[in-house]
Structure 1
Amino acid sequence: MAKTKSDRPGDGLIEMAWDPITRIVGSLGIYTKIDFTEKRVAECYSTSSIFRGYSIFMKGKDPRDAHFITSRICGICGDNHATCSVYNQNMAYGVRPPALGEWIINLGEAAEYMFDHNIFQENLVGVDYCERMVRETNPGVLDLADRTASPGAEAHGYKTIGEIMRALNPLSGEFYREALQVSRYTREMFCLMEGRHVHPSTLYPGGVGTVATIQLFTDYMTRLMKYVEFMKRVVPMHDDLFNFFYEALPGYEEVGRRRVLLGCWGSFNDPEYCDFRYENMANWGRKMFVTPGVVVDGKLVTTSLVDINVGMRILLGSSYYDDWAGKEKFVTHDALGNAIDERHPWNQHTIPQPQRRDFDDKYSWVMSPRWFDGKDHLALDTGGGPIARLWATALAGLVNNDYVQATGHSVVINLPRTMLKPEARFEWTPPKDKQGNWLSNAIERNRARTYFQAYAAASALHFAEQALAEVRAGKTKTWETFKVPQEAASVGFTEAVRGVLSHHMVIRDGKIANYHPYPPTPWNASVRDSYGTPGPYEDAVQNTPIFEENPPETFKGIDIMRAVRSFDPCLPCGVHMYLGGGKTLQKLHTPTAFTGNG
């Protein structure tokens, strides 16, 4: 962490930077100015020092290679990219996978949600709330935690909030270590369905190459039921922990708070309805087991993937790229006749322009995706994924099976009896503050992650039952043939672990002419756009109050870190180079070949 006095005379602000942010993937930097008199963050800038060039080198490739290549965008959620790319290709090729293939993909993605959310919640972001961290930043809070009984102790086994915090201590904490074991068998669940984690080896356009047997799904289910039992402890434990912070630190709901602007692109296709035709996309999108939607100020404004697609805009603003205004438009209208904007991913040209970081101009490699509602370019966030997914699904009220029901105002999750615990029922409702205002903040993003782990497990129970029914009926086909067209414009929509994921592709002469993947990172980590609107990280940290008890000299920034990490940041690996003022690289020496003579 770097600390300096602000260069603005008399403003009393202290500049502090955390670059890179720890316990996430990638090179995220957070630069702030903090008013320690008012105990509040005055300004925030989010930066990324990595350049992702997939949109450039995908051009000219065989479309059938797209999912293999794009899964390498990330070593954490590569399967989400592969899945989204396969959905994209299914649309381009006009292929509809067999039902069993789709259930297998759903089971793989459910396992990925369980694996990734668990390891992040307990072993990464959970450290922000552990005893050691609280002792170093808010010793008064820890003292209260040790004296506060846990309301859900009977369910999770920890008598006080202090015991929960100690169980989360890295490496030494009981629950911390247990979560690592859970992450192992949830990864095994994924590998059963798609062969390899995190880059699937049996996932293709048209379905999967997985050999579907009763034994395969039995092996999955034995692990899934262990996870179901685990979640019966985790949900009440996290509710106790997060509710305690509100009680111990009045006003803590303002940490990481921003306007409710949430985007969800939907997840888990229903093969009975999903034919991957763009013309039918709004209808089969609404049949997903996680409902797509845009939530503005707590209200669901659309559940149509067509509306979501048409409204997408990629703005540049403070990012290191040249504008592509006036260049070729690959797509002027979609298959339904809707006009496609120049700023849409289908029409994007990626023109990198490395330069020195300047917070008054350009300061990051992340562009600024926005959703245009016909009036404003909205800086949607994913809330780390789960809060947007649960909010959209709850309000849409479209999901209804034995394990999960969306009521129109909540999501009900039913977990069946397991070896040591009876059946459990959990209900997630869109959060509000004490004044009744809709609430999207650090605590509620983290809470939603816990509930969505239970949601993914419950959904997987339904998918496994459907898959077994197909096998028992003798319908064991998992893949459908296809042909690559000479011309096509296609899109895939799904939810990566951290939120919205789309892949847009244009095919010409049988090759990729344009390809743009948009994962949750650009949405959440976006910078000030062309209209001066800050991105979600920036917006959530600006005006965040400071509750940490340490003075500036020993300040750790835990409230800021909780705000940022609540989004589950993941800036995938890439390469970029900056040579300053036009320096030239020169080869000064050619080494002599080694001859073995010393």
Structure 2
Amino acid sequence: MVQNLSQSAGQETRELVEMSWDPITRIIGNLGIHTKIDFANREVVECRSTSSLFRGYSVFMKGKDPRDAHFITSRICGICGDNHATCSVYAQNMAYGVKMPHLAEWIVNLGEAAEFMFDHTIFQDNLVFVDFCEQMVKETNPSLLHRAENTAAPRSDEHGHRTIADIMRAFNPFTGGMYREALQMSRLTREMFCLMEGRHVHPSTLYPGGVGTVATPQLFSDYLARLLKVLDFVKKAVPMNDDLFDFFYAALPGYEEVGRRRIMLGCWGAFQNPDVVDYTYRNMPEWGRKQFVTPGIIVDGELVTNSLVDINVGIRILLGSSYYDDWENDGEVFVTRDPLGNPIDRRHPWNQTTIPRPQKRDLGEGGKYSWVMSPRWLDPRTGDLLALDTGGGPLARLWSTALNGLVETDLIRATGHSVKITLPKSEGSPEKHLEWHIPKWSNTIERDRARVYFIAYAAAAAFHFVTQAMDEVRAGRTKVFQDFAVPDDAIGCGFHEAVRGVLSHHLVIRDGKIANYHPYPPTPWNASPRDVHGTPGPYEDAVQGLPIFEENGPENFKGIDIMRTVRSFDPCLPCGVHMYLGGGRTLKRLHSPTLGAGA
């Protein structure tokens, strides 16, 4: 939709063009981006992020057997369902008071590492890079493509492409070499996941208390054989990404402002350390810090906290521009204090009540326009409710891990200002050393750059995990499941990283059944609309004020810089909103003399 309008600001009148992309393609089709653009000044003046789909797992989970929670919640998404299942298992482990055997933890870590490699590869090379490929750049920035044809690729000896334009051609859909090779890597990494957890993307061998995977030396050898092939691909992909992204900065001065927002990043941590994790709430800060991806909240480049208890207590779910009624005075209070005595707010996921209120979309000031709620984190230093983002997942994960400086294995190490990654010798390439440095900006380019580095991080971590798992098997420690009992009353919370960022599941059990259940994936954090205080969500904030570098005018405008920015967050709307059908209603009842009523 395109509409011309005028907007006055003081003495200045700006001619704005209203443009919408709804739905945005290449992802689930219910994300809309609605903008007002000042073409004379090459700037996006205003942005609204909308979602037209409502689902509602928080509603229909009530009354279910809590042991079914991970099987049900994995269906929230057909992309990161295993992340949901894993996070649900973590929450159940806490509620049941059960610790998984070491080998089970390594198996879950191996499955999740494969998922990160699978999803990030297919998204980066087959979806994101369509926006950077030769065909797209030719349509939106032909002068940039001309410069790319005449710019040598600095790391050509590492990836084999002579010019930047050659790299762009490698990502052309269906014809580019890297585009096709990424599809093959996605097949291998999906097989790796299935070896560990039975089925992708809804695990069949993952349970609270452990896994049902039969752990044999052959199982881990099969995983490792595929991992070595993935390493060859990653060693080539990282320098290709660096060359292309560095070119954009050099060729388009000011491009660092595209998608840039204040540094407010959240990471909930990933890859449990079996030697430390016990799933008790009391010890959650300690075992959280020992994960192989370190949790943390980063504001303006400073690490505010790495305690999962602090992170948990500070979560608030706000409304505002969302299609819901407030539960402040109507909903039941399930948890007033956490197991450590910290007060739990009415707007915390443990106490949330979902009250959907369908209505007409209103994109005006103060209007309601999205089924996504607005998660925020209360900064105890200032009292501000922060619209944290996940940097698409990898940016926050690497940034938090680097700043914490706690991870140190033979292949991955956090230094306080960077993350060092060693990729072992593989089938077709020697050992390679990579280092991701904390960038100056949280912007479109750095979100995308971090993604390929996290593929490398996950691959190196997987190599470490498979080595540890094989050591367990050789030592005869093959137990993968611990029995447990479901208590009559309990609470639990799971913290994990979905592919595109922070993931938490909050569980309340009463009389042996689920009384309240709220999953909060990365999409509500990233795609949230303006909250009750008028604070825009991260998509909106990153697009609003964005400078336009596309060479097309309003009549042929594709919005490529807007699309690159939204996609840099790795958007996936099924996790943002949920479905609820109520009690249903009979549309028509058929009677058959053979089958009987209701056939």
Deviations along 1:494-525, one digit per CA (max 9) or x if unpaired, are 00000000000000000000000000000000
* Structure 2 counterpart SS, 1:381: coil
| 1:331 has 2:330 as partner | no
CA distance in 2, matches of 1:470, 1:5: 66
Cα offset, 1:577, TM superposition = 9.8
| From 468, 471, 475, the counterpart of 1:469 | 471
Q: Tell me the TM-score normalized by structure 1.
A: 0.95
* Structure 1 counterpart SS, 2:509: strand
| 1:6 has 2:8 as partner | no
Cα offset, 1:413, TM superposition = 0.2
* Structure 2 counterpart SS, 1:245: helix
Cα offset, 1:339, TM superposition = 0.4
| From 543, 549, 558, the counterpart of 1:541 | 543
Cα offset, 1:26, TM superposition = 4.1
CA distance in 2, matches of 1:575, 1:53: 4
Q: Amino acid of the residue matched to residue 202 of structure 1?
A: T
| From 495, 507, 524, the counterpart of 1:522 | 524
Other-structure match for 1:246: 249
CA distance in 2, matches of 1:550, 1:116: 32
CA distance in 1, matches of 2:266, 2:58: 23
| From 488, 502, 508, the counterpart of 2:490 | 488
Deviations along 1:32-84, one digit per CA (max 9) or x if unpaired, are 00000000000000000011210000000000000000000000000000000
Question: Would the aligned equivalents of 1:26 and 1:572 in 2 still touch at CA under 8 Å?
Answer: no
| From 445, 449, 452, the counterpart of 1:450 | 452
Deviations along 1:138-187, one digit per CA (max 9) or x if unpaired, are 00000000000001101101000000000100001111011001100100
CA distance in 1, matches of 2:215, 2:41: 61
| 1:353 has 2:352 as partner | no
Question: Would the aligned equivalents of 2:89 and 2:208 in 1 still touch at CA under 8 Å?
Answer: yes
CA distance in 2, matches of 1:119, 1:523: 23
CA distance in 1, matches of 2:580, 2:342: 39
CA distance in 2, matches of 1:417, 1:220: 16
Q: Amino acid of the residue matched to residue 111 of structure 1?
A: A
| 1:145 has 2:151 as partner | no
Q: Amino acid of the residue matched to residue 285 of structure 1?
A: G
CA distance in 2, matches of 1:594, 1:356: 45
Query: Per the alignment, do residues 232 and 542 of structure 1 end up closer, same or farther by CA in structure 2, a change over 3 Å counting?
Result: same
Question: Would the aligned equivalents of 2:65 and 2:512 in 1 still touch at CA under 8 Å?
Answer: yes
* Structure 2 counterpart SS, 1:79: helix
| From 490, 500, 506, the counterpart of 1:498 | 500
Query: Per the alignment, do residues 576 and 108 of structure 1 end up closer, same or farther by CA in structure 2, a change over 3 Å counting?
Result: closer
Aligned length: 581
Other-structure match for 2:273: 270
Query: Per the alignment, do residues 179 and 12 of structure 1 end up closer, same or farther by CA in structure 2, a change over 3 Å counting?
Result: same
Question: Would the aligned equivalents of 1:102 and 1:269 in 2 still touch at CA under 8 Å?
Answer: yes
| From 409, 414, 430, the counterpart of 2:417 | 409
| From 366, 370, 379, the counterpart of 1:373 | 379
CA distance in 2, matches of 1:333, 1:57: 25
Other-structure match for 1:383: 391
Other-structure match for 2:597: none
Deviations along 1:331-387, one digit per CA (max 9) or x if unpaired, are 000000000011100000000000001123110000000000121000000011000
Other-structure match for 2:105: 102
Question: Would the aligned equivalents of 2:361 and 2:369 in 1 still touch at CA under 8 Å?
Answer: yes
* Structure 2 counterpart SS, 1:279: coil
Q: Amino acid of the residue matched to residue 470 of structure 1?
A: E
CA distance in 1, matches of 2:525, 2:578: 20
Question: Would the aligned equivalents of 1:354 and 1:577 in 2 still touch at CA under 8 Å?
Answer: no
| From 40, 45, 61, the counterpart of 2:64 | 61
Q: Tell me the TM-score normalized by structure 2.
A: 0.95
Question: Would the aligned equivalents of 2:152 and 2:162 in 1 still touch at CA under 8 Å?
Answer: yes
Question: Would the aligned equivalents of 2:319 and 2:531 in 1 still touch at CA under 8 Å?
Answer: yes
Question: Would the aligned equivalents of 1:403 and 1:414 in 2 still touch at CA under 8 Å?
Answer: yes
Cα offset, 1:429, TM superposition = 1.0
Other-structure match for 1:392: 400
Deviations along 1:171-218, one digit per CA (max 9) or x if unpaired, are 011110110011001000000000000000000000100000000000
Deviations along 1:406-451, one digit per CA (max 9) or x if unpaired, are 011110001111232111111111101xxxxxx0000000000010
CA distance in 2, matches of 1:74, 1:413: 30
Query: Per the alignment, do residues 26 and 275 of structure 1 end up closer, same or farther by CA in structure 2, a change over 3 Å counting?
Result: farther
| 1:425 has 2:425 as partner | no
- Moved runs in structure 1, 4+ residues, more than 3 A? 7-11, 573-578, 589-595
* Structure 1 counterpart SS, 2:282: helix
Give aligned-pair identity as a percent: 70
* Structure 2 counterpart SS, 1:413: strand
Cα offset, 1:594, TM superposition = 12
CA distance in 2, matches of 1:242, 1:571: 27
Question: Would the aligned equivalents of 2:59 and 2:580 in 1 still touch at CA under 8 Å?
Answer: no
Gaps in structure 1 of 5+ consecutive residues: 433-438, 579-584
| 1:111 has 2:114 as partner | yes
Q: Amino acid of the residue matched to residue 87 of structure 1?
A: Y
Cα offset, 1:576, TM superposition = 6.3
Cα offset, 1:25, TM superposition = 2.5
Deviations along 1:212-246, one digit per CA (max 9) or x if unpaired, are 00000000000001111111101101000000000
CA distance in 2, matches of 1:468, 1:576: 42
Query: Per the alignment, do residues 42 and 206 of structure 1 end up closer, same or farther by CA in structure 2, a change over 3 Å counting?
Result: same
Question: Would the aligned equivalents of 1:273 and 1:284 in 2 still touch at CA under 8 Å?
Answer: yes
